[in-house]
Structure 1
Amino acid sequence: MKRRHFLRNTSLSLAAGLGTPLLTSAMPPLPGKDTFTPIRFGIISDLHQDFTHDAPARLEAFISDMQQLKPDMIIQLGDFCQPKQENKAIMDIWDRFNGPAYHVVGNHETDGGFTPADAAKYWKIPNTYYSFDLKGYHFIVLDGNDTNPAHQPKWKYERFIGEEQLQWLAKDLDSTSLPVIVFCHQGFDNDNAVENAAQVRLLFEHVNKKAGFRKVQMAFSGHFHQDYYNCINDVHHVQINSATYFWRGTRYMDEPFDAAIHKQYPLMKYMSFYRDPLWALVEIHADGTTKITGRSSSFIGKTPTALGMPENDWTYPAVPYISNRTIKLSKRSS
């Protein structure tokens, strides 16, 4: 399925029809000063340990860089590794980071018969969705793998925020007066990511309106192995490119690695690998200026375009980098 049609700004009047949870009470507005607590965090997505030959080396490079930069935390956005004993080595690398390290459950954690709950247990996180406070921010991790009850039969990879999780999200947002940053493997600015993305966005907008300030500031996602940014009704949505590759699909095949590697990992012939691993450092400054510093690489083998893939076949062009971006956060409602 092509990802061509994107949901744009949606009227708040749609909330009732979409079943958006209602907030029980309003938090008092924050003090007038539009200031933020400085914070830095490293972010990596879609490592795909189980599909590829060099995920450990890519993760080693990320952790080594983070150990030198010493951010306040790191987080991976899903499709990291299946929750099985054979992946202990990849977890040992992750655990070398000397600081808070958080996980988001992706759809490929469920390969091999595993569940999102299995991944949460394996990673020792409180639940498949959870929240935490750090340095003056409220961070929310969501699980985009809930089952859509409308699907009969169930899809192999569900992409939905279910009613129970929505109700939890509404209460969690209502409970904090801190600026909020959201993480989910599947994003909310693309109608081929979380299916009820508009419902979640409307909840964010209700929260901000009720609070009297921009409480929900940013939402980070992975999943598409692409590099893009959208601002929808004052919430900044940032897509973090894969650490490893772009998925071309089965129409475009290339085998730039040794035959033995392609035999062991048969899906790799449909992937355009990045020569170097990709990740980003996010820095929020006191005035709200947010700098995203991404890494850049090149493709190994033939580029998707050279293989005949139209540039916009997956909506955004396939690129081997994470863009440097400067985003201005503000607590003031527009």
Structure 2
Amino acid sequence: MKRRSFLIKSIIGSIGMAVADTLSVNASSVESGRMEKKGKALFRIGICTDLHQDLITDGPARVQSFITEMNKLRPDFIIQMGDFCVPKPANQPIMDIWNQFKGPKYHVIGNHDTDGGFTHDQVVEFWNAKGKYYSFDYNNYHFVILNGNERAPENKLKGYPNSILKEQRNWLKQDLDSTNLPVMVFCHQGIDNDLDGLKEGNQMRILFERANKKAGFQKVQLVLSGHHHEDYHNVYNNINYLQINSISYQFAHLKDGYDFASTIDPIWAFITVYDNGIIDVKGKRSSYKNEKETGEYDGYPTVPFISDREIKVEVRE
């Protein structure tokens, strides 16, 4: 009985060691898979949008939270995607906080940034932006910043302009033709959102798709927008369109009109791009200060957060 007991224990022990070894191998494989999945980080971007400094009361605190966090995380650059602040002296404290970031800083013009009769040129000067629209390269990627706030001379309608006119479109075509790098595009208005988005959205999507066809690879990979204060990701003809939610609030749908549904904490996105085609989006989450009938705005759910997402794009051989 003792010998039998010994044999049973030995067998069980051997099985246990084999299981442990298998688990160890599987764990190593999983970890290896994770490492392979992550790849090598090419660059990181901190993104916020739609502060609306001139419509809210706690703008400086929200920007300060973003900048403080970015100085800790140290992305390769930060960008705000419009509706930041009008170019008046009273808003200089906002710019002073923004300029605390210890790295490159970029701007996208939004429709509210010219409230009060200011011009795009005045906004560019006040922000120390690179231009009304422009592009730049970083670590083998090409970045395009568009201005979706142009108004055609024949457009006599009231309300905010939401166009990219022929001169800028021609510049964009030439700019895309001039680079062989993968491209990310930033525009305040949604190019994929035909409800209050860019008027020439369909035309712009075709322009991107033709650029990809001409290049023979997925050149235009990701198009980012703000403006709609929403949280969504669309894919049209192999091009990703990512909406970044407002750092400040959403419009609340009330029975007697609209009001602001402000988030308790500011929200923003942190994007890491890897060499294996993974674009990792980490978003901040909050809740609304007051529960209201927020419902849906422009067809997408109203939410007080920016979702974590993993977007896969093609990697050119």
TM-score range normalised by the length of the shorter chain? 0.7 to 0.9
Corresponding residue to 1:185 among 182, 185, 188 = 188
For the Cα contact (< 8 Å) 2:108–2:146, is it kept in 1?
yes
Offset of 1:149 from its aligned partner? Answer: 4.1
Cα distance in 1 between the residues matched to 2:98 and 2:260: 24
Offset of 1:49 from its aligned partner? Answer: 0.6
Please name the residue that 2:203 is paired with: 199
Corresponding residue to 2:152 among 139, 148, 154 = 148
Cα distance in 2 between the residues matched to 1:315 and 1:54: 28
The verdict on how the C-alpha distance between 1:36 and 1:217 changes in structure 2, with shifts beyond 3 A counting, is farther
Cα distance in 1 between the residues matched to 2:225 and 2:253: 21
The verdict on how the C-alpha distance between 1:55 and 1:198 changes in structure 2, with shifts beyond 3 A counting, is same
**TM-score, normalized by length of structure 1?**
0.80
Cα distance in 2 between the residues matched to 1:252 and 1:42: 37
More helix by share: 2
Which amino acid in the other structure matches residue 177 of structure 1? Answer: N
Task: Look up the SS of the partner of 2:290 in the other structure.
Answer: coil
Cα distance in 2 between the residues matched to 1:112 and 1:144: 18
Q: Which one has a bigger Cα radius of gyration? A: 2
Cα distance in 1 between the residues matched to 2:157 and 2:177: 32
Please name the residue that 1:16 is paired with: none
Percent identity for Structure 1 against Structure 2: 47
Task: Look up the SS of the partner of 1:38 in the other structure.
Answer: strand
**TM-score, normalized by length of structure 2?**
0.84
Cα distance in 2 between the residues matched to 1:37 and 1:275: 32
For the Cα contact (< 8 Å) 2:184–2:223, is it kept in 1?
yes
Cα distance in 1 between the residues matched to 2:237 and 2:149: 25
Please name the residue that 1:161 is paired with: 164
Please name the residue that 1:238 is paired with: 242
Cα distance in 2 between the residues matched to 1:155 and 1:138: 35
Offset of 1:251 from its aligned partner? Answer: 4.5
Please name the residue that 1:327 is paired with: 311
Cα distance in 1 between the residues matched to 2:151 and 2:40: 37
Cα distance in 1 between the residues matched to 2:145 and 2:297: 30
Cα distance in 1 between the residues matched to 2:251 and 2:165: 27
Cα distance in 1 between the residues matched to 2:178 and 2:256: 48
Gaps of 5+ in 1: 1-34, 254-268, 306-310
Task: Look up the SS of the partner of 1:170 in the other structure.
Answer: helix
Corresponding residue to 2:223 among 208, 212, 219 = 219
Corresponding residue to 1:282 among 271, 277, 289 = 271
Cα distance in 2 between the residues matched to 1:83 and 1:49: 11
Aligned pairs for 1:294-309 (under 5 A) are 294-305=283-294
Please name the residue that 2:61 is paired with: 57
Cα distance in 2 between the residues matched to 1:168 and 1:37: 30
For the Cα contact (< 8 Å) 1:147–1:154, is it kept in 2?
no
Query: Which sits farther off after the overlay, 36-45 or 169-178?
Result: 36-45
Which amino acid in the other structure matches residue 50 of structure 2? Answer: D
Cα distance in 2 between the residues matched to 1:204 and 1:332: 17
1:128 paired with 2:132, answer: yes
User: How many residue pairs get matched?
Assistant: 278
Corresponding residue to 2:91 among 87, 92, 113 = 87
Task: Look up the SS of the partner of 1:270 in the other structure.
Answer: strand
Offset of 1:150 from its aligned partner? Answer: 4.4
Please name the residue that 1:39 is paired with: 43
Cα distance in 1 between the residues matched to 2:103 and 2:297: 40
Which amino acid in the other structure matches residue 279 of structure 2? Answer: T
Cα distance in 2 between the residues matched to 1:91 and 1:129: 20
Query: Which sits farther off after the overlay, 295-304 or 201-210?
Result: 295-304
Task: Look up the SS of the partner of 1:92 in the other structure.
Answer: helix
Corresponding residue to 2:107 among 73, 78, 103 = 103
For the Cα contact (< 8 Å) 1:252–1:270, is it kept in 2?
no
